Structure 1
């Protein structure tokens, strides 16, 4: 069994055209655990590989519980069982669809309509699975740039190991590195055409995915856990 350095709870699209196309956009198929060719699309300001380096290692995903090291004594099997328990009590979440948005300089797909149920699902994952999370080290805290966080975000970082949870949470599917405005605008036009005929409508989150980070820093889809409540 592969040993992973960290784990995360993500949304990842089920097998199909949206999953295939998004994996090729980033150049990493987390379900297959392998690099895939990125398309050479007209209108790109730079090669797509140079615009997607940061999100590539994570695979195409929406964060529910950010990456964490397992607490002492906790196992992957126990974490998976806890995800099954969470899924058994949570219903699938449906929103009308997804649309492109610029978030703090990077391009992402974000949900349309009321995201309250999605926020609630994510916070349940954060809180219910937190016993499996090892406490942050000083180095890990520093990587979150706490001096740039507002007081509430810093409190959330200290309590839950991540500053963007609860009311600070915003579900998004990252498509690029942080870009200058002109590059971001150009990339958004390319992405709109690339994803136009495969974006799910409605957008359904029917399961939660356990991801693991390998020794090279790449994330793999380990298991899916149905939302059946």
Structure 2
């Protein structure tokens, strides 16, 4: 799928395709190139990269690519609205038009961030409570806006989710929204690794902490429509969604 090629995007859309509304740094931001290089591919252009060398990993015969296979498939992003198939009788053009209109109503802001361990994986997350709340509010607004365009998970998908360790509230959210980590359960993050050992987590956190000052805050000046053309395929950035006066 070529970036910004709507005809090509539409022809690859089928009943099993999923779309998501993600935060993705603009191409003008150093955060975009840094994240894409870390995950070894640009989901918008399709260009592949050699990931950076982390000396402390190389000493243990490990590399970034081996520790980040899952986030590589999803591309550099932070989830706002989780992947879902389109609702019945909803077209790709309708989703794109709706997404662009939603984005125009948003206002850009900057987000201070830090690298942390979230359970057994490493991620970039808001460094302040105010920042976390701002991203939660943005995600909640998007969730409500796109609800009618998203199909609910199949019974099999719901059973798989319910088999995991969910709280009663998360089960309730799953039943209503098709995803358990929304609204007050939402935690914005940009995933950097798979589930890895404690020593490896600390190595990655230290590496990113050294680079945060030069990267600066995340510019939350737009979102992006990502598409998984068929189950298991890499997600691609199908359309950028600039916020308000961020054009």
TM, length-normalised to structure 2: 0.85
Query: Where do 5+ consecutive residues of structure 2 fail to align?
Result: 1-7
Superposed CA RMSD:
1.7
Task: Provide the C-alpha distance between the structure 2 equivalents of 1:140 and 1:174, rounded to a whole number of angstroms.
Answer: 23
Equivalences, count: 226
* Runs ≥4 residues deviating over 4 A: none
Equivalent residue for 1:92, pick from 108, 122, 141: 108
Deviation at 1:197, TM superposition (A): 4.7
> How far did residue 145 of structure 1 move?
4.7
Aligned twin of 1:134: 151
Comparing 136-145 and 63-72, the one that deviates more: 136-145
Please give the alpha-carbon distance, in whole angstroms, between the structure 2 residues aligned to 1:34 and 1:214.
18
Q: 2:184 aligns with which of 153, 167, 185?
A: 167
Where does structure 1 lack aligned partners over 5 or more consecutive residues?
A: none
Equivalent of 2:225 in 204, 210, 226? 210
1:14 pairs with one of 6, 19, 26: 26
Q: What is the alpha-carbon distance in structure 1 between the residues aligned to residue 171 and residue 220 of structure 2?
A: 29
**1:120 corresponding residue in structure 2:** 137
- The TM-score normalised by the length of structure 1 is 0.91
Could you give the per-residue CA deviations for residues 128-172 of structure 1, whole angstroms, max 9, x where no partner exists? 101111111122223435441001011111111111110111110
1:1-229 → structure 2 map (5 Å cutoff) = 1-2=8-9, 3-4=12-13, 5-15=17-27, 16-44=29-57, 45=60, 46-95=62-111, 97-113=112-128, 114=130, 115-193=132-210, 195-201=211-217, 203-215=218-230, 216-228=232-244
Q: Return the structure number with greater helix share.
A: 2
